[in-house]
Amino acid sequence: MNNIIYKIAAAALVAGGLSACSEELLPVEGEGHVKISATLNSDVTVVSRAMAEEELAASCTVWISNSKGVVREYHGLNNIPAGGIDLYSGHYKAEGWAGVKSAASWEDRWFEGVEEFDVTKGETTNVELSCKIQNTLVSVVYDASADEVISDYTMTVGSTAGELVFEGNDERKGYYIMPEGETSMKYTLKGKLSNGEEYARSATIENVKPSTEYRLTVRYTGENEELGGAFLTIEVDESEVVVEDTILITVAPEIQGFNFDIDQPVRGKAREFGRKSLYISASAALKSVILYGEILQQKLNLDGPDFDFMNSEDHVHDAVVAGGINNVYTYDEENDISNMKINFEELFTNSLVDGEYTITITATDVLGKSSVKTLTLVVSDDPVTTAAINLMDVYATTAVLRANLSGDATEYGFNYRPVGSSEWTYVSGTANGSDYSAQISSLSPETEYEYVAVTPDFTSDRVIRFTTEGAPQLPNASFEKSVMDGKILRFYGEGEDMFWDSGNKGSATIGKNITTLSTDYRHSGEKSVKLASEKVAIAFAAGNLFAGEFLGIESLTKGILGWGRPFTARPKALKAWVKYTPATISEYGGGDLQKGDMDEGIIYMALVDNSTDSYSSYSGWPCIVATKQPKLFNPEGNNVIAYGERVFKGATEGDGLIEITIPLDYKRTDIKPSNIILTASASRCGDYYTGGPSVMYIDDFELVY
């Protein structure tokens, strides 16, 4: 067995070993400092260490909590401030998670750890958080004797949540996360004996534990009882995962402005710009800090546009300081933390004439981690200046306009218009410090606009353009098109791609489509889709419809569904026309509704990122639902960007379809979606095979922008 330790040195969570606080050092608050290192104990040699570092850093979550709850929460090491944190005196608990949690996988590993610690005023607390691999591991070995009597062999190993198939002499390890409350794992050996007979043998590993590898060795003894002409034994050896190697994952240096956002232009008047300072914090000693900008060469009389604070020759350093740029560097060897403050003094900034100047700062530590930021200085006497738009603020029909504000303007706003139009529309702005913004609405999708910052007697000379997002609708959203695929009713037209699917593939195997088209109720066109829950032969089937594809069946009646379709727009809501008639629950297999309760229907929609899911041999879908476990969609998952639902707790009003609107709650606004998940069911707990003969009609899904 190969073994590895992953060590995440999260100086991110480190406050820093500084004995005093002055203007020249990064200011801190609180009473005690905390340094946390996280050790991830695995079992395999990583092929690409760089890839392993990036993936683990992105997946790592760290919580710090006290008796009142979580006080710090970080998702991904890049989101942890490298400058460190400070905590008030008291008792705390650090918890860490990293990796990917899959029921059965050849690659996904999952780590967890917890460590309690105390923080004391004025002291630095070092906490080592050991995150141990939580997977149950399985490997399969065939003794040379086995090849004498069996060929074409496979070993299938898994739990009710998922399984893997070891084909032939497969030397890979399988990684499993056991379902809650389940402690047994089934394995089945199949192959062809030398006499031509098919061979199959199944057994169970009991009391399965995490952080443990189970090695299955297949041997031919040639003795004792004969089974189909051969006697094969399967020996199960249990061993705890051991750790040998180390990978150090650190946070890249953090570069930030003092009392300003370095990602936004810094503005000031000529001859009155004043001192500006930057702070660089790193989880190791700094190796180089390079400043680059044409203005540096012009103002500092340098041979080129760049210099390195850590490695410049004396005459270059003296010229930089004489020109008005200096630095203070501190390295705390005991805690392995460094800080640098860079001051752009008035001597430098007040010498700049009207214009825009950029200085790029590249900080690299001795571990090779680098960060790059660009400081933009805008020198102008203008009362307002149009600022660049944040593309994440631009939707199909709305956008947020931004500008910079000087102290001389008391009334300010924006003029905006479609590009090519001669008419401007004015909107007033709302100030936030030295910036102001305004949200505009009723825009046209996929249209280019332009805007400019204005006051009653001044118009900025900077015009910014942007293009609104598209406003696509879902295909066949009125369900007028359908085809028969054998016995299965499909919801798309001849020659078209599939977007919608249902549980019909499962129920049609016994001659029943549970989701059909109906002319009884409709809003537009001639048809609506009818979702009818009922017991079909031996199993309850919920009438359902979803964006995706029915992938397969396991254990006779348990469905495996691939949910999600590519989609990159950002609607505000989902509308539909619905009629729902619930029935008393007559079948129970799980969930929060009980037999005898009134059934409930549900429609929900989510916008998700580009991450994919896997189950058994299926992969590549935004979400894979497997009703055997059940493995279901999680609205609170990290991949969810926006979510909205409507639960029908009774019959809809009136005799026909009613219009409903489901608003979307955007949990993240820093990323655009890659996929859409949309599901409707006449029985909300149908995934658990719970419900009654309830019926839901749906027509005219519409995305609202």
Q: In this predicted model, what pLDDT tens digit does every residue of 569-624 receive, in sequence order? A: 999 999 999 999 999 999 999 999 999 999 999 999 999 999 999 888 899 999 99
**pLDDT above 60 for 11:** no
Average pLDDT for 175-180: 91
Model pLDDT for residues 490-514, shown as the tens digit of each residue:
999 999 999 999 998 888 766 789 9
Q: Has residue 434 got a pLDDT over 60?
A: yes
Instruction: Return the number of other C-beta atoms located less than 10 Å from residue 98's C-beta.
Output: 25
Which pLDDT does position 44 carry in this prediction?
Answer: 59
| DSSP secondary structure letter of residue 147 | G
Across the range 188-202, mean pLDDT stands at: 90
234 has a pLDDT exceeding 50: yes
Of 547, 505, 522, 699, the C-alpha closest to 633 is 547
Rounded Cα–Cα distance for residues 572 and 560 (Å): 30
DSSP character string of 648-686: E-SPPSSSS-EEEEEE-EES-SSS--SEEEEEEESSTTG
At 167 the pLDDT is: 93
Highest mean pLDDT among 4-18, 19-33, 180-194: 180-194
Span 27-50, pLDDT tens digits: 334 467 665 655 566 665 554 555
Residue 116 to residue 95: CA distance in whole angstroms: 9
Q: Is the pLDDT of residue 248 over 60?
A: no
pLDDT at position 21, please? 29
What is the mean predicted confidence (pLDDT) over 318-340? Answer: 92
The C-alpha atoms of residue 453 and residue 637 are separated, in whole angstroms, by 40
Report the alpha-carbon distance of residue 8 to residue 125 in Å, rounded.
17
pLDDT for res 616? 84
Band of pLDDT at residue 639, cut at 50, 70 and 90: very high
Q: What is the pLDDT of residue 258?
A: 92
The one-letter amino acid code at 200 reads A
pTM summary value: 0.63
Q: What is the pLDDT of residues 61-119, one digit of tens each?
A: 888 888 888 888 777 766 666 656 788 889 999 888 888 888 999 988 888 889 899 98
Q: If you average pLDDT over residues 200-220, what whole number do you get? A: 92
What percent of the chain clears pLDDT 90, i.e. is strictly above it? 63
- Cα separations (Å) of 167 from 137, 184, 190, 482? 17, 22, 10, 40
- Mean pLDDT (the chain, rounded): 87
CB 137 within 8 A of CB 175: yes
